[in-house]
Amino acid sequence: MDRIPIPSPSDCTEYGTPLGNASMTPASLRSRSFSFATLATILACLPGCGRSPPAEEPVAPAPVKWMEARQFFIEEWTDLLGTTQPLPEHGARVTARVEGGVLSVLRSADGKPVTEGQWVKKGDVVVQLDDRIARANRDKAEAAQEELKQQVEQAKLAVKQANVDLRAKEELQGKTRSGSDPLVAPIEMEKARLILDDARSKQRAADLRVASGAREVHALNTQLQLYTLTAPIDGRLGRLLVVPGQTLSVGAPVAEVINIEDEVDLLCFVPPGVARKLKEGQTARIGTVDDMALAKTSKPGDDAAPASQKKAVAAIGKVVYIADQAEVDTGNFAVKARFPNKGVGLRGATTLRMRVLTAPGKACLTLPESAIQEDQDPPTVIAVDNYKKEVNKEGKEEETGVARILRVKTGIHDRVLQLVEIISVDDPEKKWQGNLETAKFVVEKGHGLRNGDPIKLEQEEEEEQPAAEKKD
């Protein structure tokens, strides 16, 4: 094989300058680099010259679920959260009416013990305060009353004596002969009469002091009764809040007595929007429809029934009070509903959910809750526009269309059946030509769709296929 001759430095030149010449300038090097870069750019552009850009691939339709509006009989129940409490006249609180120390607790006047949770009657003793000072003051007033009674007797005697003196002088005056000097001077007669009037006045004063003393004794006896704390009403005694030896101030709470055996109130606080739906006399229900169904299916003594069936609580009552003025702190309105409690056994101060029938049932066109997009005002639904059936590339028939966002006016919202009444729909762009009775509306997987987005009806096979692949 012939060798390729290697040129010498003197034979290799560029632009008339030998390669090995150390005197090559930076300007010549930049010029050489720029020429190579320009040539590379031109060569890269040559293959694409004269070709058209590739066509855009069609957007695959989004798989969704749709359905037509259906006629259902629905009703609207509004959920409220409240706390049970006794009726206004069936709840009372035992408090200290005077200041004093606790002498004994839960012991009636006849010495019988009283226990917490026991049914008590009005007047039963709950707590006895130390009343020794009040009792001593009462005894002192009673002793003073006896002294006043003696003063009344003395006043009566003084009146009698003055009366006797006056009669004696009058009799002596009557024995005076005509034409002679009177046996009793007129001034003496006048003094006798004044003495009688003075005695009678003192008797009246003594009577008044006795009456005043009697009232004072009565007041002390009444005050003495305040040291005995009794049940204000008939009911069940709650937890005792004091212990023997404790000194109570006026108004200190001792215990509560409530009577919720027959009826119970549920107190709720609702915002103004909900308060506008409520009216006195509306039907209210404690417990969900499912709870009531479970309670009906369970039989007494059925040990095999689930615990949820045995504990199901359901009661039907009515709204009895709606406040005209909102609470200052929260702006909410107080609402009370009254329920029968016989056989239900609801306890006081228990938080429960209540449902109020705010719209009576009627037959109307409805859609599932999932079809209504309520994240904006007014709410919207997605209708299927340009609906058609066609065969896809795989040879399967599929239903396709285009998404069209419509504003919707809703009515009754049945949260039990999860259905919403559709009153009317409106297209802001005025392009939708369908009608409410026959239109198809997206009910699942419609979030994020925009006007004009292609969609197709999702088949059940497409949903079951991933599950089958997992099994394989």
Backbone angles phi, psi at 33, to 5 degrees: -65, -40
At residue 420, does pLDDT exceed 70?
A: yes
- Contacts of range 322-329, beta carbons closer than 8 Å, 24 or more positions apart: 322/275, 322/278, 322/279, 322/280, 326/272, 327/269
Q: Are 327 and 379 in contact (CB under 8 A)?
A: no
| Averaged pLDDT, 404-423 | 92
Residue with tokens 């009989």, as numbered in its chain: 73
At residue 14, does pLDDT exceed 80?
A: no
Quick one: pLDDT band at residue 212, thresholds 50, 70, 90?
A: very high
At residue 441, does pLDDT exceed 60?
A: yes
| Averaged pLDDT, 220-239 | 94
Ramachandran region, residue 321 (left: φ > 0; alpha: ψ -120 to 50; beta: rest): beta
Q: Are 414 and 76 in contact (CB under 8 A)?
A: yes
Task: Please state which architecture CATH assigns to domain 131-226.
Answer: Orthogonal Bundle (1.10)
Tokens matching residue 376: 């904006």
E strand spans, 218-314: 228-230, 235-237, 247-248, 253-258, 263-270, 283-286
Tokens matching residue 9: 């430095």
pLDDT of residue 95: 96
Residue 14, strand partner residues: 17
Ramachandran region, residue 124 (left: φ > 0; alpha: ψ -120 to 50; beta: rest): beta
Q: Are 230 and 123 in contact (CB under 8 A)?
A: yes
Instruction: Please give the Cα distance from 66 to 444 (Å, whole number).
Output: 7
Q: By percentage, how much of the chain surpasses pLDDT 90?
A: 55
pLDDT of residue 176: 73
Backbone angles phi, psi at 230, to 5 degrees: -120, 170
pLDDT digits (tens, 9 = 90+) for 377-392: 889 999 999 998 888 7
pLDDT of residue 43: 55
pLDDT digits (tens, 9 = 90+) for 19-73: 444 444 545 544 555 555 565 555 555 555 555 666 566 778 899 999 999 999 9
Average model confidence (pLDDT) across the chain: 83
| Averaged pLDDT, 147-156 | 89
Instruction: Please give the Cα distance from 134 to 445 (Å, whole number).
Output: 80
CATH number of 77-87+258-360: 2.40.30.170
pLDDT of residue 20: 44
Which of the four CATH numbers 2.40.50.100, 1.10.3720.10, 3.40.190.10, 3.40.50.300 does domain 94-127+229-257 have?
2.40.50.100
Instruction: Please give the Cα distance from 227 to 224 (Å, whole number).
Output: 6
Instruction: Please give the Cα distance from 142 to 110 (Å, whole number).
Output: 25
Q: What is the CA radius of gyration of the chain?
A: 52
pLDDT of residue 343: 87
pLDDT of residue 133: 94
Quick one: pLDDT band at residue 314, thresholds 50, 70, 90?
A: confident
- Worst-scoring range by mean pLDDT, 20-29, 111-120, 156-165, 357-366? 20-29
**Alpha-carbon distances, residue 76 vs 284, 418, 448 (angstroms):** 12, 10, 29
Q: Which of 93, 349, 98, 96 is nearest to 231 (CA)?
A: 93
pLDDT of residue 410: 93
| Averaged pLDDT, 259-279 | 95
| H helices, E strands: number in the chain | 7, 22
E strand spans, 215-291: 228-230, 235-237, 247-248, 253-258, 263-270, 283-286
pLDDT of residue 1: 43
**Alpha-carbon distances, residue 199 vs 148, 153, 188, 263 (angstroms):** 16, 12, 17, 66
- Worst-scoring range by mean pLDDT, 268-277, 290-299, 368-377? 290-299
- Worst-scoring range by mean pLDDT, 88-92, 165-169, 454-458? 165-169
How many Cβ atoms are within 10 Å of 263's Cβ, its own excluded? 16
- Worst-scoring range by mean pLDDT, 37-46, 72-81, 97-106, 110-119? 37-46
**Alpha-carbon distances, residue 314 vs 57, 291, 296, 304 (angstroms):** 59, 7, 10, 21
For the entire predicted model, the pTM comes to 0.63
Domain spans in the chain, listed from the N-terminal domain onward: 64-69+362-471, 77-87+258-360, 94-127+229-257, 131-226
Is the four-CA dihedral 440, 441, 444, 446 of positive or negative sign?
Answer: positive
The more confidently predicted of residues 12 and 268 is: 268
Strands 235-237, 13-14: pairing is unpaired
Q: Are 152 and 281 in contact (CB under 8 A)?
A: no
Instruction: Please give the Cα distance from 407 to 427 (Å, whole number).
Output: 6
- Contacts of range 275-279, beta carbons closer than 8 Å, 24 or more positions apart: 275/322, 275/333, 275/335, 277/78, 277/356, 277/358, 277/359, 278/78, 278/319, 278/322, 278/335, 278/356, 278/358, 279/319, 279/322
Is the bond preceding 378 in cis, omega lying within 30 degrees of 0?
A: yes
Instruction: Please give the Cα distance from 391 to 223 (Å, whole number).
Output: 97
CA angle at residue 197 from 194 to 200, to 5 degrees?
A: 150
At residue 214, does pLDDT exceed 50?
A: yes
Backbone angles phi, psi at 34, to 5 degrees: -65, -40
| Averaged pLDDT, 424-445 | 91
| Averaged pLDDT, 150-175 | 87
Separation of first and last alpha carbons in the chain: 66
pLDDT digits (tens, 9 = 90+) for 283-302: 999 964 445 444 444 444 44
Q: Are 359 and 416 in contact (CB under 8 A)?
A: no
pLDDT of residue 37: 55
Q: Which of 347, 131, 128, 403 is nearest to 244 (CA)?
A: 128
Tokens matching residue 132: 């020794």
pLDDT of residue 307: 46
